[in-house]
Structure 1
């Protein structure tokens, strides 16, 4: 990290203000070259920027001497007018001084490598930038503030305490130690194994807040799936025709329900077909629905027979999913009651609506909002917000379970497994992360952060 990097920290295009960031050992030299002198630390100064005798802009310049900066290095910011020509002139002047354009996430990677953030906090920065909903913002801000780090540090402390007892039994067998010193490690390890098991059971919640709660619309052709999608999205996102098989690929529409991101997927109608394209659409529909968090089985109230084999029997709809009886305006109360009774027996929640009618989906929207909020909200901050976290937690739990089977029998092996569990937890915060993991994490960042 001997080179000095720069990058625009604001989006491209015409704007009132653009920010160009600089970090590295030559940051102070670059500021003097453009602004004439260094401003007082952490105080904005209005300066005329010039290069090779040519005025570039009147800008606010900020100077952050390391280690009291975001990256832990000498750093600076130029707040210039947001015209493209101004920004390009400043970037060209920095390049001419031997500075290089930062790679995606390089500023935050330097902050991590200089001990300003751990890896979970760095991921919180990326998630905060990408946040689209209130729930995503809260989760990312909590992670940036160290909520995940604190939990993992507590767990790691418990492991270190247990490891001390086990190693004492191994290293000092002839000393005057309590005979059950190794066994005393068991209660703490059992408690920690249970906490990690709970965290793994809840791991999907954090990822769904980040990526979106997936809801699949499934059912026979012309049941009204696309009409329902358009009504919930409040726009014409999918083509609606009377021709069966119109939808042949997954149409994903993002929604925000109760402050949470939702991905609503309209899928191809489920039926046997000799059309190769439609058959591929059905295959994709089955695959997308299988991975969804909730499936809405859309049923045509006028055509569905309570005895017929439907989406549930194909293994698509599961207990706890929803049956949506659509087109209820076309049938009488007796017919609706018969359908409702037949579907409730299948352990499905039942919603009745007329998707094509104005306001016909508002009850369904309210019910979906309540379901999403109940599924994604929780009293505690989730212990895992990425697949990477869950993988390391699963690995740590495996070592703990093996250690518990060895305590009192093979204390040396138990101690080694506890040590490996601690290493697995350390990888989440980045204390011992290999380079390829760091590359994968920071490659998802935007340039300039």
Structure 2
């Protein structure tokens, strides 16, 4: 993408709508306003009612124009927003008119925010917060995205980088002035204490069980059990639609069927899986393998016991897992194992209670970390690499085998933290980050 281009895009929802917003950014904004708006270039930061015409003078629409001169704008460039009627043809005609002008083109996904990042208006975690708040479906997602957008994560990462920079300075003093009369313990002990505290903080952040990512992406819940236990019927009952095929034939479900729900104020991915049993059928065997993997990776498992042929759940049952005794309309609930929830996927009996149990689990898990430091896999990867470098640096200093090597490891940790906020070495990830944005942002 060329920064010399002026970019434009629809910045509001898809038509039809009462109002649409067309956003422009770049050094040709003033010329476009002078040629296409009846009012010319509007007074900065004052909405101006005006007529919008094409290059031949034909009226496109009448609406409001808002000019925000750079560098005091979202992108750091001259920015113009047109508030027009949100009909499909008005939008199409407007964008065609704008992109026919020299040096003007449609924006790529996330390009406005990328320009804001490159202009120093946002760091990379704040830019990711912009994308997250646009996509937020729940209060928890909104709160997490707002914290990230307003610099909550940046503050933490910047503090770690500042403290590590201080540690690096102390180590370099050891390297540059090795014979200043201090004993090794007097020199190294303060550095080790600082490293111990920072290592503990990074370990705490990484030990959050992925809560930040799960709030953003959703908690995984797997429905597991033998064939014909009613797993697909249970999925359909909770989803309030026929998401999975239900038949009396054992082995009908052979792949993972997922539905996205909001329970307990959190996004939840509920997965129906193949019945767990030994089988010579190659396709069904693959379904069983996938079911076992889904169960292993899930945050919560719902073990379904078939009341018509009750057997204990297969595989390990963790303390947070839920055991349900299905088909209670056909068999006595007295046959249910202790602690199991009696339900009927066919009639809906017990489903409300099951949903409350699931909601309680995900809401408690989301609240188990007060303010997650990690909200994306990218953050976790960089933070893990930084932690490994600090552990190595500490070991080298404690063993007294190479302050120079320890200094390099601390530098590596600083670079990893810098890559999270986008201050160093992020060219390889910028395309991936901003490609996930909507076009007008």
TM-score normalised by the chain length of structure 1: 0.92
SS of structure 2 residue aligned to 1:381: coil
How far apart, in 2, do the equivalents of 1:266 and 1:305 lie? 19
Runs of 5+ consecutive residues of structure 1 not aligned to the other structure:
341-348
Deviation at 1:358, TM superposition (A): 3.5
- 1:79 and 2:83 correspond: yes
Q: Is the 8 A contact 2:305 2:311 kept in 1?
A: no
Q: 1:56-67 maps to which residues of 2 (within 5 A)?
A: 56-67=60-71
What residue in structure 2 maps to residue 444 of structure 1? Answer: 436
What residue in structure 2 maps to residue 328 of structure 1? Answer: 328
What residue in structure 1 maps to residue 152 of structure 2? Answer: 147
Runs of 5+ consecutive residues of structure 2 not aligned to the other structure:
none
Which of 399, 411, 415 does residue 403 from structure 2 map onto?
A: 411
Deviation at 1:403, TM superposition (A): 1.0
Which of 343, 347, 351 does residue 353 from structure 1 map onto?
A: 343
How far apart, in 1, do the equivalents of 2:342 and 2:207 lie? 32
How far apart, in 2, do the equivalents of 1:48 and 1:333 lie? 72
Q: Is the 8 A contact 1:165 1:184 kept in 2?
A: no
What residue in structure 2 maps to residue 344 of structure 1? Answer: none
How far apart, in 1, do the equivalents of 2:309 and 2:45 lie? 70
Q: 1:41-440 maps to which residues of 2 (within 5 A)?
A: 41-51=44-54, 52-98=56-102, 99-174=104-179, 180-202=186-208, 204-306=210-312, 310-312=313-315, 317-318=317-318, 320-332=320-332, 334-336=334-336, 339-340=337-338, 350-407=340-397, 409=400, 410-440=402-432
How far apart, in 2, do the equivalents of 1:360 and 1:231 lie? 11
How far apart, in 2, do the equivalents of 1:351 and 1:142 lie? 38
How far apart, in 1, do the equivalents of 2:407 and 2:280 lie? 61
How far apart, in 1, do the equivalents of 2:234 and 2:151 lie? 41
Deviation at 1:225, TM superposition (A): 0.8
What residue in structure 2 maps to residue 20 of structure 1? Answer: 22
SS of structure 1 residue aligned to 2:432: helix
Q: Is the 8 A contact 2:264 2:358 kept in 1?
A: no
**Superposition RMSD in Å:** 1.9
Q: Is the 8 A contact 2:392 2:406 kept in 1?
A: yes
Change in 2 beyond 3 A, CA 1:239/1:185: same
SS of structure 1 residue aligned to 2:17: coil
Deviation at 1:20, TM superposition (A): 0.8
What residue in structure 2 maps to residue 10 of structure 1? Answer: 12
How far apart, in 2, do the equivalents of 1:388 and 1:76 lie? 33
Deviation at 1:379, TM superposition (A): 4.8
Deviation at 1:291, TM superposition (A): 1.9
SS of structure 2 residue aligned to 1:181: helix
How far apart, in 2, do the equivalents of 1:426 and 1:206 lie? 20
Deviation at 1:174, TM superposition (A): 4.9
TM-score normalised by the chain length of structure 2: 0.93
Deviation at 1:227, TM superposition (A): 1.8
Deviation at 1:334, TM superposition (A): 4.3
Q: Is the 8 A contact 2:259 2:271 kept in 1?
A: yes
